[in-house]
Amino acid sequence: MIDARVQEILLFYHDAGGGHRNATRALTAAADKTKRPWRFRVVNIERELSSLDWLRLLSGVTIEDFYNLIVRRQLDGAFVVILLRLMHAVIRLQRRRILRTLVDFLRAQSTAPAAVVSVIHSFNGILREACREALPGVPFIVVMTDLADFPPRFWIEPGLERVIVGSDEAVEQALAAGLSPRAVTRVSGMILHPRYYETSAVERRAFLRREHGWGDRDEVILLLFGGKGAREMLPLARGLLAESPRWHVTAICGDNPPLVEALSRLATDHAPRLTVLGFTDRVADYMAASDLLVTKPGPGSLSEAWHQRLPVIVADNRKTLPQERFNARFLERRGLGFTVRKWRDVPRIATEYFADSTRRERIRDNLARLPRNLAVFEILDVIERDLQAPGSSAGCREEATPMADVAVKS
């Protein structure tokens, strides 16, 4: 039975890309695990604004589904920029209607929420205004799920009183957008699911390698391209298997049955060196058991890999999503892995990596020097302190009393 006395926090997300949904699940799981005196109530903003979704009205395809199609098809990054700017233009044209819809939704809550939290981009300015009008005194908090913003008005908007970010670059962007230094809270990284903290990477590695019969000296390469996989995984798996008979390749395809079927056919010719999985909640285990990850430069996969101290190969080219280009360059600049222009270069880069013990040690040292990522728990602490601050602190009040920045350096 739900305790009506427990405070609720509205958590806005959408399904345009898996990172927002994953962040939502991680935050709710962490709040349950740490027994917070409040609970999240998850709200999909696309559903609340469905009557205003012009693309769905014209074509029957939601904006969320259209964006996910763009991601899966790996369209040219310049085209994606145009589409994003077009979407922002439509949001500006519909601003009044969107604002009224959100205000009505917030006012219709049977019990006023203790706070409103957003893990989405593009709507934070409107959400802030709706919160001020419908819920005066209730904190509005933005949690960025990208390492860096893609301005203008993507994540960070002028006038926000609390933005939680996971990189120094994002701090600088927030300040450049005119936010007060006290409004910007720096945590130790991107949001990870609490399961990443339940068992050590050493234990996960040993257990899964025994399960698959991989020896300590076997070289294991993981292919992971988000919750829907990607068509690049098939030629990548084929190329890696042909490159070295010593390598074991694991392909996690997510919710993509045709890709699972195609890779399973390839696996019949390469058993037991190719392991094919669909959707799995054991990504943390497979990362721990691997020696190299091949993936897109999404902030979620990269942060999970860095937490497990796993070297990464990503592509940085014209098809890279504009908001993810910073991630690829950050990885290369910090010496945490490799970037390639073309996926067909991956087998060669992997060969060079495994053959060069000096380079391997240098990358491992760089990974070991990364700060410990406890962001999911730090974010909950920030929210809780904002709730306890005089006058309910963070967003929706001109006289907000913001708290000091939080960063874990251990």
Distances (CA, A) of 216 to 208, 210, 294, 377: 11, 9, 20, 33
pTM of the model: 0.88
* pLDDT reported for residue 408: 34
> What CATH number does the domain located at 7-192+374-392 have?
3.40.50.2000
Q: Where are the beta strands (DSSP E) in 80-198?
A: 115-118, 140-143, 163-165, 184-186
Question: How high is the pLDDT of residue 389?
Answer: 75
How confident is the model at residue 37, as a pLDDT? Answer: 93
**pLDDT (0 to 100) of residue 80:** 73
Say what the pLDDT of residue 157 is. 94
Q: Supply φ then ψ for residue 189, to 5 degrees.
A: 160, -160
Check residue 404 and give its pLDDT: 33
User: Which two tokens mark 137?
Assistant: 């005194």
Q: Cα(338)–Cα(343) distance, rounded to whole angstroms?
A: 12
Integer Cα distance of 287 and 127 in angstroms: 36
The token duo for 380 is 């909950």
195-368 has the same fold as 7-192+374-392? yes
pLDDT less than 70: residues of the chain? 1-5, 16-18, 54-78, 390-410
- d(CA 16, CA 27) in angstroms, rounded, equals 18
Element (H, E) at 239: helix 233-243
What architecture is domain 195-368? 3-Layer(aba) Sandwich (3.40)
Query: Which 3 state secondary structure label does DSSP give 276?
Result: strand
If you compute the radius of gyration of the chain from its CA atoms, what whole number of angstroms results?
Answer: 22
Domain residue limits, the chain = 7-192+374-392, 195-368
Residues 6+ apart with CB under 8 A from 71: 17, 226, 228, 321
